[in-house]
Structure 1
Amino acid sequence: MSALTLSQAISSLKDKLCQLAKLTPAEPIVQLAAEVQAIPLISWLASQPSYPRIYWQGRDRLEEVAAIGSCLDFRFEDEVTDEALAEVYETQRAYSSNQEIRYYGGVAFDREIASWPEFGRARFLLPRIELRRSSDYFRLLVNLNLGQGDQQQEIAQAQAALDALVPARPMTPPTKTEQLSRNDRPDYPRWKTLVEQVTAPRFNQDTPKVVLSRLTQLQVKDTPDPWQVLASWQGRNPNSFQFGFEFSPERSFISCSPERLYRRQQQELYTEALAGTTIRGLSPEEDERLAQQLLDDNKNSNENQLVREHIVKALTPLSRYVGADETPTIFKLNHIQHLHRSIRAELRHGVKDFQLLQALHPTPAVGGLPRESAISFLRQREGYMRGWYAGACGYLNKYESEFAVAIRCALLEPGCINLFAGAGIVAGSDPQAEWQELENKLATIMSILLDF
């Protein structure tokens, strides 16, 4: 059967909903699907009138999802305990045996303190509508939660969501916005003090790494469309995860992150140590020279090795086998390049995603080492609330899950763009060089947003 047009796929799904109304499903969560012709997902998502709106594209670009609405929403405004995350995991497993059912969301960097409005300290939801691309295969999906009461009402709400869908409008590049003011938290004098505190021998001997970060708030004349910004960002940094969460029109969070937290396929797990940074060269020869300098640099090599050792140690109790690259390779982005080591594990039977999130997040690449003392330092002295920046964002289901580390990201609010960047501070770190690293990490998104 050939793929349907969008309108034909909507009609097909509405017919299936009518048939469902005559049945008593065996499970509370039901998903209906129709193959559809190729559609530009991010343009389609930006065209829809409904919220929440969620976007996800894997780093290998083989899979892409645009999702709208919600039929099951787990939202944590208060402290997120391991038990609470376990309940989410067990609920989604109990509600359906369908391996295609996915819950999308994220966990804040620090689950023990307040987070952004609407996002909470953690939030996972089952969308009402999904448009999924796997390579060149597109499907339109509708999800129903029949476990909370009136089946006919749930079907009617699903039909209404399908009726509200509109075709994709052409996506244009974002209009450059006018910057009215800029505020850095911390500012450079405070940053210099923090770096000196972290590198002081008495502190550094017990806490060898702290990832300091900076919030750059841009007051702007007009807030750009988040999906236009993310689409442009995709083109600049293709070797990245791209994702976005817009739970309401007031606030959107987008990221073009190079860093995988983990990918799980049943009991196979893939993760990485991504730490150590330098700029890209202006010529192939200079680029190669800078890459070799990064590989040879003791400070950056030590930083990456610390991350590798921590991840292997964290995974060992959960795994039958853990293997990690002994030497780093270079991972190149548009403006910068990183040291990278791949890590693989075969998980023990029964290990769950909430255990992996607890063990791996926050990674030393965004928090520090040891985790507890580094995060304690950040809570007391960094001077702003990270929210979902440096958190974990992705999806989970019974068969597989994937989470990216939410770096290279932006929180867009009316009249304000919040940009985030961090740098790993270890013995030998120079405050001015680390401050410049923050600027390098923001270079791509700043060039998309602003005229210089």
Structure 2
Amino acid sequence: MTVRFEFAGLKQCLQEAKSRAKHQQSKVLASYSLPCHRRDPLALFAANYQYGRTVSLWGTPSSDYYSVGFGSACEFSCAPGGSWSEIQASWQKLLVSSVVIGDHQPVLCGGFAFDCQRAPSPLWKDFPPAVLTLPELTLFCEENRSYLVINLMVSSQTDCGLAAERAYAQWQSILSCALTTPNNDSLLLEEVDLYNSNTDPVVWQQCVVDAVASIKRNELQKVVLARSDSLALNCCPGDILEYLRDHYPGAFLFAFARKKSCFLGASPERLVACKDGRISTVALAGSAPRGKGPGEDDKLGLSLLNSDKDRFEHHLVVCHLLSILRKHCQSVWVSDQPELCKLKQIQHLLTPLYGCAKQGVNLLEVLSDLHPSAAVGGLPRQKALEYIRKNENLDRGWYAGPVGWLDARGEGEFAVALRSALLTQGRVTLFAGCGLVEASLPTHEYRESCIKMRVIRDAIRSVSLVAEAAE
């Protein structure tokens, strides 16, 4: 297929959309796809982030699937406390009159704050509480197949030839950014120990003591308390993403660059996926460190499987997820026993759940019911949220919120934004949380939060060593 033929196909798509826009007196989505050479999605993300573009990345390295989106054809959001299902309804309304040419589905990508009813603090000013974006250009890489999707909103006044030329020029600009040598140096601006927390351990552990006391008074069954650490650091997100891709291939790799901020991570936890009428989720709760050798690692894993405290915490999460799936599914399946999910620094108890969706199920409605799960919020859910708002003293922003994608069929996948960090100018903020039940011990929970933060700390340390060696 020649470039000229592809350009002609894009122009045809735009002209059809313009004709519909004239008829209905409103803008129409034109979505066109074409095959293209495979590019490194992480390099494209990093290079264009440096040039201040709105960029999103989603990937599952284990299946060699990536999407990287640039710009915004349109965005869907809702007011604090609004219904997430309204976002999907607005999306479907736009799609009714859309013109789609090519073997693809238009795809939204974005995320939601952990607590959408809370106004963002200055730290999270670039991230709305709830937003899904339709990029103007998206590169999809699926094993041996790569293709570019162009999404443009067309009015009755659109110059289709000029719009096509601009889209082509924009793609060339995106590619040229990746060809130039980006500033990949990751520089610590302060002499700090990457593995030493700047959170006061005594203060945070006292918060754990107070939360456990509330649980013992039967005010809560479980609550998840999070904390953050901040490093003075200039860092290229591409370097961190490469480390996460290489060391956590089974995780959901994500990154969202908006204005001068970038939120990224490698989450081990799927919140929900919907495909071919099947809804699936996982319970991920209960944690232990990895051992230094196979023998110690097996011993720690067996101890986790036999831990009354961790099994109880895990059981609460399973029951909570099960009750929600039954609301939206005709039938539900859940494993009888949890299994071990072994990651580089930590291992968790994991139980998969899935069901056959009822007719007309709205994925974002299911997502809203699932979030926050007991694994990141607590139980009873509303009381746990109220406790977190009052006692955590932290704006989680998108940390522990859902991030993922939604396509034109209403199918999609969202992960819980864990093992993550927020990059702002000259600073990296790390996040981690721990699920607390009656048997929780403050020192153990603090140690667990440190282990979880090591995912990003190790990435930064690796990147810093490479930068030092290059000097």
TM-score by length of 2: 0.87
Specify which structure has the higher proportion of helix: 2
Residues 1:162 and 2:171 aligned together: yes
TM-score by length of 1: 0.90
Question: Is 190-199 or 94-103 further displaced after alignment?
Answer: 94-103
Residues 1:387 and 2:389 aligned together: no
CA contact (8 A) 1:277 1:338 kept: yes
Q: CA RMSD in A?
A: 2.6
Equivalent position amino acid for 1:447 in 2: D
Provide the residue aligned with 2:69 in structure 1. Answer: 67
Change (3 A) 1:47 1:404: same
Provide the residue aligned with 1:5 in structure 2. Answer: none
Question: Is 47-56 or 289-298 further displaced after alignment?
Answer: 47-56
State the alpha-carbon separation in 2 of the partners of residues 80 and 31 from structure 1. 28
Q: Sequence identity of aligned pairs in percent?
A: 28
Provide the residue aligned with 2:440 in structure 1. Answer: 429
1:114-129 residue pairs with structure 2 within 5 A? 114-115=119-120, 116-129=124-137
Alignment gaps of 5+ in structure 1: 2-7
State the alpha-carbon separation in 2 of the partners of residues 335 and 449 from structure 1. 15
State the alpha-carbon separation in 1 of the partners of residues 190 and 313 from structure 2. 35
Residues 1:31 and 2:42 aligned together: no
Equivalent position amino acid for 2:332 in 1: V
Provide the residue aligned with 1:406 in structure 2. Answer: 417
Equivalent position amino acid for 1:360 in 2: L
CA contact (8 A) 2:76 2:91 kept: no
Note the alpha carbon deviations across 1:385-404, whole angstroms, 9 max, x for none.
Answer: 11000010001023310001
Give 1:197 deviation, angstroms.
Answer: 1.8
Residues 1:108 and 2:113 aligned together: yes
State the alpha-carbon separation in 2 of the partners of residues 291 and 303 from structure 1. 16
Q: How many residues align?
A: 442
Change (3 A) 1:392 1:213: same
1:7-22 residue pairs with structure 2 within 5 A? 13-22=6-15
State the alpha-carbon separation in 2 of the partners of residues 174 and 233 from structure 1. 17
Question: Is 207-216 or 44-53 further displaced after alignment?
Answer: 44-53
Provide the residue aligned with 1:302 in structure 2. Answer: 312
CA contact (8 A) 1:111 1:122 kept: yes
CA contact (8 A) 1:278 1:338 kept: yes
What SS does structure 2 have at the residue aligned with 1:410? strand
Change (3 A) 1:348 1:23: closer
Give 1:447 deviation, angstroms.
Answer: 1.9
Provide the residue aligned with 2:469 in structure 1. Answer: none
State the alpha-carbon separation in 1 of the partners of residues 306 and 91 from structure 2. 43
Alignment gaps of 5+ in structure 2: 22-27, 466-471
Provide the residue aligned with 2:202 in structure 1. Answer: 189
1:173-184 residue pairs with structure 2 within 5 A? 175=186, 177-180=188-191
Give 1:83 deviation, angstroms.
Answer: 5.9
Give 1:111 deviation, angstroms.
Answer: 0.9
Give 1:73 deviation, angstroms.
Answer: 1.5
What SS does structure 2 have at the residue aligned with 1:320? strand
- Of 54, 57, 80, 2:56 maps to 54
What SS does structure 2 have at the residue aligned with 1:200? helix
Note the alpha carbon deviations across 1:323-352, whole angstroms, 9 max, x for none.
Answer: 111100011111111110000111111110
Change (3 A) 1:162 1:216: same
Residues 1:259 and 2:269 aligned together: yes
Give 1:425 deviation, angstroms.
Answer: 0.6
Change (3 A) 1:141 1:82: closer
Change (3 A) 1:202 1:107: closer
What SS does structure 1 have at the residue aligned with 2:220? coil
